[in-house]
Structure 1
Amino acid sequence: MAILSKIRQRSILLILIIALALFSFVLADVIKSGGFSGSTNNIGSINGTKFDYQEFMNKVANVEKQQQGISNTQAVNSVWDQEVRKALLTEQYDQIGLLLGKDQLMSVIKNDPQLSKSPQFLNAAGQFDDKKFAEYINSLQSAPDKTMWNQWKAYEVQIEDFAKEQIYNTLIKSSVYTTKTEGKLKYERDNNKVDFDYVAVAYSTVSDDQVKVTDEEMIAYMKKNPKKYKYDNTRTLEYVLVENKPSAEDEAAMKSRVDGFLNGKVEMRNGVNDTIPSFRTATNLGEYVNKYSDIKFDSTYVAKKDINPQFAEQLYALSPGQVYGPYVDNGYSKLTRVAGRKSGATAKVSHILIAYKGAMQAAPTVKLTKEEAKAKADGLLAQVNANPASMAMLAMTNSDDQGSKMNGGVYDNVAPGQMVKPFNDFLFNNAIGKTGVVETDFGYHVMKVDGKNDAVLLATVALKVQPSEKTEDTNYNKALKVESDATANGIEKAAKTSGLKVAPLASVRAFDENVAGLGLQRQIVTWAFNDDTNVNDVRRFDIANQGFAIVKLKSKNDDGILPLDMAKQSVEPIIKNEKKAAIIKKKMTGSSLEAVSKATGSTISPAVGVTMASPVVPNLGYEPKVIGTAYGLGAGKTSKIIEGNSGVYMVRTKALVKAPVVKDFKTQIDQLNQQTKGAASYRIIQGLKDKADIVDNRGRF
C-alpha cells in the first residue's frame, strides 16, 4: 500500500515525464523530416510552385477509380505527368496573356458531342438550344446538393485547360515553317548520289578481351555528353532471393494426398472423418471438383490448342471417363478426368480471298470488278480441284487476305460464329475435303475444308503445392541467416555460403514500382530512396508468392546520368569501339586503298548510288560519317582513316552524280513542314521540362 501511495503522489510527475518523452519522439521525427515547414507535404514543385500532397493524392484516388486495375504507383506517375504539363503550360499562358472568355468556353463545351447531341438540350428542330442548356446549368447551381454543381465546375476547368492547350499548340505550329533552302537541302540529300570504293576493317576483328572498359571511363564519357545520357536519379540494387517453395517432402505429401482421390479415401475434415469417393467413379464431377479442388470446375469444352502443351497430347487422347495423373502443372498437383468430348467443335480451313473494287476493306490497289473477281475465283477453284496440293501456293500468290496468305491461306481452330455467316456455314456444314467458292462482303473465297477438331470437357482436382509450416520456418530462418551474413560479410559471400546466386544488378528510379526479377515491389524502391538508407545497407523483404529478397543498396546515382548497369549496354560498346579503332588504325598503313588493302588483308569493295538520305554501306550498315566523307571528296580523291559505326574505313570517291536542277521544292517543304509541325507539341513540352526547375519528391511516398 505504501508503494501505491507513493505512485499516486508522483502521478502528475510521471505523466509529465511520459508526455515529454512522447513529445521528444515526435519532435525528433519532425526535425528528421524537415521540420514544421511542411516540406514533406509536397509531392514536388515546378519553378517554385508546390504540389500539395493531399490535393495531389485526391487526384490520384480519382484516377484509380476511373481506371480500374491501375496500380497506385501508376496513378501517381500519371497524375504527376499531368500536373507537370499543366504547370509548365500555365506559365506559358500567363506569359503570352492567353485567356479564354466565357463565350469561348461555352462554345467549346457545346461542341462536346455528349452535350450537343443530348436530347435534353435539343429544340423541336433537333438543334442545340442555348436556353435549355443555360437552364440546366442554373438548376445545378441552385440545387441544395452541390455535388453535381462541383462536378460541373471541375469539368469546366478540364475543358478550359484543353481549349487553352489547343490554342497554344495552334500558335506553336503556326510559328513553325520550312525555308526554301531547307527544302532544297532535302531534295539534294534525297537525290544526289555518290559512287566510291572502300576498304573496311570491322571492329569485330578485334577481340573484346583486348579492350577492357572501366566504370570510371564510362562515367567520364557520359559526363562529357550529359545531354545525350541524361537520366533520372537512380539507385542500383543487388539481391539474393531465398525462395519459399515446397520441399521434396511437401511435394511427396501432396502427391500422396492426390493419389488418395484415385480410389477414394477417408480424411479428417473439421474433426470428423470424411469418406471421399473415388474420382474415377464419381457421378457428379462438377460437384466433386468444387468440393475437393482448389480450382473450381469449368464446364467449357476446350480444343487441344487451349490445353497446356506439356500435357495436351495425354489429356486430349483420353476417352470419356479415363483419368490422367497425378501430375504437377503450374504449382498444382492435379488429377484430370475427361468428362465429355464434342466432335467438330472447331475447324481448319484453307481459303483464297479475291476482293473486288468496292468490297468491304478492299485495298486501294484492288481494281477487279465484282464479275472479274468471281471469274478469277472460279478459275482458281478449278486449279485446286485439279491439284489440291496447289492450294497453299495459290493462296500466297493470289489471296487478298493479308492475315492468312503467307500461311498458305490457312486458319486453324476456327470456332463456330467466328467468321462471317456464309464463310462459317460452308466450313461447318460440309465434310472434310469439300471445296467451293463462297461470296461474302469481303469478296469471293475459294475454300477447302481441311479438318474438324474435337473439344474435350476436363474435370480436374487441383491442389496447390505449398510449403508446409515446417518448410516455411526453414526458409525463413535461411533468409534471416543470409541477411545477417550479407550485413556482416557482403552479399556475394553470403550467397555463396548458402548456395544461392546474386541476381543481376537492377536500377530503379524514385517513381518506379518494378524491380527486375521481383515484379511490383514499391516497398524496395521506397527503401532505396529513403534518406536514411546508405550505400551497402542490407535489408530483407517479404516477396509475396516468391519468398524473401535480401537486398543491398549497391550505389546511388544522383548525377542525372545513365546508371552504370544501363550504360554497359549503350556506352561500353562505344568506348570499346574507340579502343578497337586505335588498334586497327595501326594496321591500316599506307595512303592508298591498295596499300591499306594489302596491309590489312581486306578487299576493296564498291558502293554505287548511295544517298545521304540513306547513308548505308552495303553489307555493313548505317554509316553517315563514311558517306558524308565520300560526298566531300573530289572524284579520284582518297580519304584519311575514318572511324565508322561498324569499323574503320578508307574511301576513294569515283563519281558524284548530282540531282537534276529544279526550281520548285514544294514537295520537300511540305514533307518537312508536316514532320516539324507534327512533333512541335511534344518538343515544346520537352524543352520546357529541360528549362524548368523541377523538384520531384515522389520517391518519399
Structure 2
Amino acid sequence: MAILSKIRERSMFLILVIGLALFAFVLDPSTISDFFNASKVNEIGEVNGETISRQEFAEALDAYKAQTGNRVSEMQAAKTVWNNLVRQKIYQTQLKEAGITVGDEDIFKAVCDNPSIQNDPRFQTSGIFDKNKLKEFLATIKEENGQTWKLWQNFMTSLQSGLEKTTYDNLVAAGLSASLKEGELQYLNENTKVNAKYVYVPYTSIADSLVTIKRSEVENYIKNHEGSFQVDASRDIRFVKFDIAATPEDEAAIKIELAKLLVDAKNDAGIEVKGLRNATDYAEFFEENESDLALNDNIQYKVQVPQIIADQIFEGKEGDTFGPYKDGEFFKLSKITEVAQMPDSAQASHILIPFIGASSAGADVTRTEDEAKKMADSLLTVVKANRSKFADLAKELSSDKGSAEKGGFYDWFPYNRMVPAFRDFVFEGKEGDMGVVRTPFGFHVIKVDGQKNFQPVVKLATFGRKIEASEETENNIFQNAETFAQELSKGTKFDDAAKAKNLSSQPAVGLKALDENVPGVGNEREIITWAFGADVNEGDYKRFDVDGGYVVAVLTGKTEKGLMPVEKAINRVRPILLNEKKAELIEAKMNGANLDEIAKAAKQSVRNADNLNMQSPTISGVGYAPKAIGAMVNAKENELYNKVAGDRGVFAFVVTKRELPTKLDNYDTFRKRIANNRKNKTYQMYEAIKKASNIEDNVSSFYGIQ
C-alpha cells in the first residue's frame, strides 16, 4: 500500500508538470526556454554583489561529492559547498581590496609543495621530484580536457581557496600585535586581589509573579538587540506517526510457518522436500526457503550462539534441532551440524609469500601465484626437515614485516582474529602441525606453536525469518493514517483528532530549508520540502509514507528569515527583562549612607569577602559574579559603591584592601599571550567579515523551495 500511495502522489505531480509545460509551449514555444534561462532561475545566491550561479554551485557540489566519495548526504554536501563558496568569495574580495592576488604561480607552487605530488613516481626523475614532468603532465591532460583534468582543476581550486584564506589571515594577524603596557594591564587585572565588605540582594528574593513583562517590552528588546536575534527561515510542525509493526497475531503466524520447515513436506508440485531436521545441504535449504539470515558455517563458541538457547545447544548433540524461538527481530530455527573440542586461543608462526594481485602485495612483488606456491612448498620442506630454521627464514623472506621481525611469531590470539583459511589451520589442527595455506594475502607457511583452553564448540545452521507486519496489518495501519487525515479534512483540530483516537502527537520545531532530519521521524526530506512549500499555510496537513510507517503532519508555525518573532524569542528575553526589573525594585530599597544602613533597608546583612580576583571570579555564598568582582577590582578603597547590578543580584560594597601583585621586570610574556590570542581568532575574524557582507542565500531554490 505504501508503494501504491507513492505512485499515486508522484503520478499527479508528473501530470501537472507535463500539463503546464505543454500549455506554455502551445501559447509560445519560446516561453519554456525563457523560463529555464531566466536569471533568477539560474542564480542561487549572491555575495557582495557577485552572483553564484546554479551551474557554479552544481559543479562545486559534484566535485565535493566526488572528493568525499559520496559519504555525506545531499543536504550536508549542499551546506558545506555553499559555505565554501561564500568563504571563497569573501576572501577574494578582501584580498582584492588589499591589492593582493593569489596567482597561477602561487597555486602551482602549492601543488609542487604537496607531499602526495612530490612522492608520486609519475613526477620524479631518479626518485627526485621533477617540476617539469608535472608541467608536462598538466599540459597533456588540459589539452585532452577530460575527467582527469577536471579532477585536477578541483584540486587546484581547493588549494587556491586555502591559500587565499591563509594569506588573508596572515595579513590581518601581522597587524594584531600588543604593547607592553597592555601586557602589564593584563598582569595587574588578573593578579590584583581585593578584600571587601558588601551587601547582596539576590534576584530570587523577588518572586517572578510580582514582575510583569509586556509583549511590547520583549519586542523593543529584540529591536534594540537585532544582531542577537537574526534567524533563518524555519517551520514548525506537529505530527502523528503510525508505525508499521508486527502484531502478536503476525508473530504467531510467522512462528507457525517456521515450525513447518522443521519437518519433511510436499511442495506445490507434489514433490517431497526435506525439513531442517533431515536436511544435509543447508545452503540449498536456506535458499529454497528464503532465510532472512545467511548461513553461518563457522565454528561457534558458546558466547557466539543465540544466547536464548545457548545452554540447550551445548547440552545437545549433532543433528539436534531447536525452535522456533524468538531472538531479537527474528524467529529462528537452529540445528547442530557438528560438535567438537577446540582451543579458544592459539600461537602460530608463519612465512608469507605474496604474489602479483594479492592483497597488500607491494609494487616490487613480481612472482606469479604458481611461483609463490612452489616457493612456499619448498620452504615447508626445509622447515619440516629442520624446525630451527623457521624463524630465520621468516625474518629473511616473509612479507609480513610486523611478524617477520619476531621470526614470524604471533602470540596468543583468539579464533576470529585471523582470515578463515589461516584460522582454520591453526585452530582445527594440532600443536606442532606445519603446512601451506592460501589466503587473499598470498601463501602462508604456518607452524602451530601453541593451543590453550580447549572447550566444546559447534557448527550451527540457524535459519531466520524477520518479524515483520503482515500485509493485512500494513493495510490496517495505512487505513488508520488515512482515517486520521480524513478527520482533519472535516475541520477537526489536529490535537483534538489525535486525542479522540488516543494517538500521541509530537512537535518538530525550527526545521530549516536544508535540513534532512525530522526529530522523531528520521531522515525524511519530503516532509521538510512540503513544509516550505509556497502554497502551504499554517493549519495545512498532509500524510507521508516514511520508513517503517506513515506520518500525518500539520504545519503549526512559519518563521521567515529576519528578526526572530516575539513568540520565538520570549523564552530567551523574559529572564533578562525579569532580572532588569527586579534590579530596579531592589535598587529602590537599597538606600543609605553606609553599608549598615543599606543592609537594614534591604533586610540583608553586611558580609565579608577576601582575596577576590578576576582569575577566579566567584564569591563564597554568591557564586559566579564577574560583574561585581570586576567593579570591586577597579574601585577606590574605602569608598561606597551602591546599586551595582550583577549576574545574580544587586550589590553595594566597600573595598577595604587592595593587594597589587609584585611588579615584573618585563611584561613581554603577557604581551605575547595577548598577541597570540588575537592572532588565533581567525574564525571570529571571518565571522565578523561575513556578518558585514551582503549575502543572499537561495540555496533552497536549488532543491525546489522558493
Same fold (TM over 0.5): yes
Q: Deviations along 1:387-431, whole A, 9 cap, x unmatched?
A: xxxxxxxxxxxxxxxxxxxxxxxxxx996899xxxxxxxxxxxxx
Q: Deviations along 1:611-660, whole A, 9 cap, x unmatched?
A: 21331234654321121233244445555355443455555544222222
> What residue is the counterpart of 1:557 in the other structure?
559
Deviation at 1:85, TM superposition (A): 1.0
Q: Deviations along 1:25-68, whole A, 9 cap, x unmatched?
A: 9999989x989734133222222322222332233223223323
Deviation at 1:590, TM superposition (A): 7.5
Matched residue SS, 1:63: helix
Residue of structure 1 aligned with 2:79, choices 77, 80, 84: 77
Using a 3 Å threshold, how does the CA distance of structure 1 residues 329 and 223 change in structure 2: closer, same or farther? farther
Q: C-alpha distance in 1, partners of 2:615/2:239? A: 47
Using a 3 Å threshold, how does the CA distance of structure 1 residues 329 and 153 change in structure 2: closer, same or farther? same
TM-score (norm 1): 0.69
Kept in 1: contact 2:24–2:31 (CA 8 A): no
Alignment of 1:326-337 (within 5 A): 331-334=329-332
Q: C-alpha distance in 2, partners of 1:88/1:203? A: 45
- Structure 2 residue identity aligned to 1:492: D
Q: CA RMSD in A?
A: 4.6
Residue of structure 1 aligned with 2:534, choices 514, 527, 531: 531
Q: C-alpha distance in 2, partners of 1:181/1:605? A: 35
Q: Deviations along 1:142-181, whole A, 9 cap, x unmatched?
A: 55x6444444444444433333332222212112112333
> What residue is the counterpart of 2:314 in the other structure?
319
Kept in 2: contact 1:289–1:460 (CA 8 A): no
Residue of structure 1 aligned with 2:611, choices 601, 609, 612: 609
The gaps in structure 2 that reach 5 residues or longer are: 1-18, 347-411, 418-452
Q: C-alpha distance in 1, partners of 2:547/2:323? A: 29
Q: C-alpha distance in 1, partners of 2:105/2:644? A: 64
Kept in 2: contact 1:346–1:454 (CA 8 A): no
Residue of structure 1 aligned with 2:293, choices 288, 292, 295: 295
Q: C-alpha distance in 2, partners of 1:302/1:505? A: 46
Deviation at 1:508, TM superposition (A): 1.2
> What residue is the counterpart of 2:137 in the other structure?
136
Using a 3 Å threshold, how does the CA distance of structure 1 residues 65 and 148 change in structure 2: closer, same or farther? closer
Q: Which moved more, 1:472-481 or 1:281-290?
A: 281-290
Deviation at 1:605, TM superposition (A): 5.6
Q: Which moved more, 1:105-114 or 1:95-104?
A: 95-104
Kept in 1: contact 2:314–2:456 (CA 8 A): no
Residue of structure 1 aligned with 2:477, choices 471, 475, 478: 475
Aligned positions, number: 578
Deviation at 1:201, TM superposition (A): 5.8
Q: Which moved more, 1:316-325 or 1:71-80?
A: 316-325
Q: C-alpha distance in 2, partners of 1:459/1:214? A: 72
Q: Deviations along 1:419-454, whole A, 9 cap, x unmatched?
A: xxxxxxxxxxxxxxxxxxxxxxxxxxxxxxxx9999
> What residue is the counterpart of 2:275 in the other structure?
277
> What residue is the counterpart of 2:394 in the other structure?
none
Deviation at 1:130, TM superposition (A): 3.6
Q: Which moved more, 1:585-594 or 1:35-44?
A: 585-594
Using a 3 Å threshold, how does the CA distance of structure 1 residues 209 and 491 change in structure 2: closer, same or farther? farther
The gaps in structure 1 that reach 5 residues or longer are: 1-17, 348-412, 419-450
Using a 3 Å threshold, how does the CA distance of structure 1 residues 335 and 556 change in structure 2: closer, same or farther? same
Matched residue SS, 2:183: helix
Q: C-alpha distance in 2, partners of 1:257/1:197? A: 83
> What residue is the counterpart of 2:52 in the other structure?
51
Q: Which moved more, 1:590-599 or 1:480-489?
A: 590-599
Deviation at 1:80, TM superposition (A): 0.7
Q: C-alpha distance in 1, partners of 2:304/2:232? A: 43
Using a 3 Å threshold, how does the CA distance of structure 1 residues 265 and 210 change in structure 2: closer, same or farther? farther
Kept in 1: contact 2:92–2:164 (CA 8 A): no
- Structure 2 residue identity aligned to 1:296: A
Q: Which moved more, 1:461-470 or 1:649-658?
A: 649-658
**Counterpart check, 1:511 vs 2:514:** yes
Q: C-alpha distance in 1, partners of 2:569/2:73? A: 29
Using a 3 Å threshold, how does the CA distance of structure 1 residues 417 and 177 change in structure 2: closer, same or farther? farther
Q: C-alpha distance in 1, partners of 2:130/2:613? A: 60
**Counterpart check, 1:61 vs 2:62:** yes
TM-score (norm 2): 0.69
**Counterpart check, 1:252 vs 2:252:** yes
Q: C-alpha distance in 2, partners of 1:267/1:595? A: 102
Using a 3 Å threshold, how does the CA distance of structure 1 residues 93 and 496 change in structure 2: closer, same or farther? same
Q: C-alpha distance in 2, partners of 1:179/1:586? A: 43
Kept in 1: contact 2:63–2:154 (CA 8 A): no
Kept in 2: contact 1:292–1:461 (CA 8 A): no
Q: Which moved more, 1:651-660 or 1:689-698?
A: 651-660
Q: C-alpha distance in 2, partners of 1:417/1:253? A: 37
Q: C-alpha distance in 2, partners of 1:268/1:297? A: 22
Using a 3 Å threshold, how does the CA distance of structure 1 residues 640 and 57 change in structure 2: closer, same or farther? same
> What residue is the counterpart of 2:15 in the other structure?
none
> What residue is the counterpart of 1:23 in the other structure?
24
Deviation at 1:117, TM superposition (A): 2.8
Kept in 2: contact 1:332–1:465 (CA 8 A): yes
Alignment of 1:108-127 (within 5 A): 108-124=110-126, 126-127=127-128
Q: C-alpha distance in 1, partners of 2:20/2:589? A: 81
> What residue is the counterpart of 2:231 in the other structure?
231
Kept in 2: contact 1:593–1:650 (CA 8 A): yes
Deviation at 1:286, TM superposition (A): 6.7
> What residue is the counterpart of 1:624 in the other structure?
626
Using a 3 Å threshold, how does the CA distance of structure 1 residues 268 and 139 change in structure 2: closer, same or farther? same
Kept in 2: contact 1:505–1:565 (CA 8 A): no
> What residue is the counterpart of 1:499 in the other structure?
502
Deviation at 1:666, TM superposition (A): 0.9
Deviation at 1:563, TM superposition (A): 7.1
> What residue is the counterpart of 1:243 in the other structure?
243
Q: C-alpha distance in 2, partners of 1:653/1:454? A: 80
Matched residue SS, 2:496: helix
Using a 3 Å threshold, how does the CA distance of structure 1 residues 26 and 667 change in structure 2: closer, same or farther? farther
Deviation at 1:192, TM superposition (A): 0.9
Using a 3 Å threshold, how does the CA distance of structure 1 residues 631 and 20 change in structure 2: closer, same or farther? closer
Q: C-alpha distance in 1, partners of 2:125/2:580? A: 75
- Structure 2 residue identity aligned to 1:240: V
Deviation at 1:189, TM superposition (A): 2.2
Q: C-alpha distance in 2, partners of 1:592/1:258? A: 89
Kept in 2: contact 1:233–1:561 (CA 8 A): no
Deviation at 1:235, TM superposition (A): 1.6
Using a 3 Å threshold, how does the CA distance of structure 1 residues 555 and 667 change in structure 2: closer, same or farther? same
Q: C-alpha distance in 1, partners of 2:700/2:217? A: 29
Kept in 1: contact 2:242–2:481 (CA 8 A): yes
- Structure 2 residue identity aligned to 1:228: S
> What residue is the counterpart of 1:433 in the other structure?
none
Matched residue SS, 1:277: coil
- Structure 1 residue identity aligned to 2:275: P
- Structure 2 residue identity aligned to 1:82: N
Deviation at 1:183, TM superposition (A): 1.7
- Structure 1 residue identity aligned to 2:63: N
What fraction of aligned residue pairs are identical, expressed as a percent? 25
Matched residue SS, 2:681: helix
Q: Deviations along 1:219-256, whole A, 9 cap, x unmatched?
A: 55434322223332222222222223233322332343
Q: C-alpha distance in 2, partners of 1:543/1:211? A: 47
Kept in 1: contact 2:276–2:335 (CA 8 A): no
> What residue is the counterpart of 1:97 in the other structure?
99
> What residue is the counterpart of 2:195 in the other structure?
195
Deviation at 1:93, TM superposition (A): 2.7
Using a 3 Å threshold, how does the CA distance of structure 1 residues 497 and 165 change in structure 2: closer, same or farther? same
Kept in 2: contact 1:194–1:656 (CA 8 A): yes
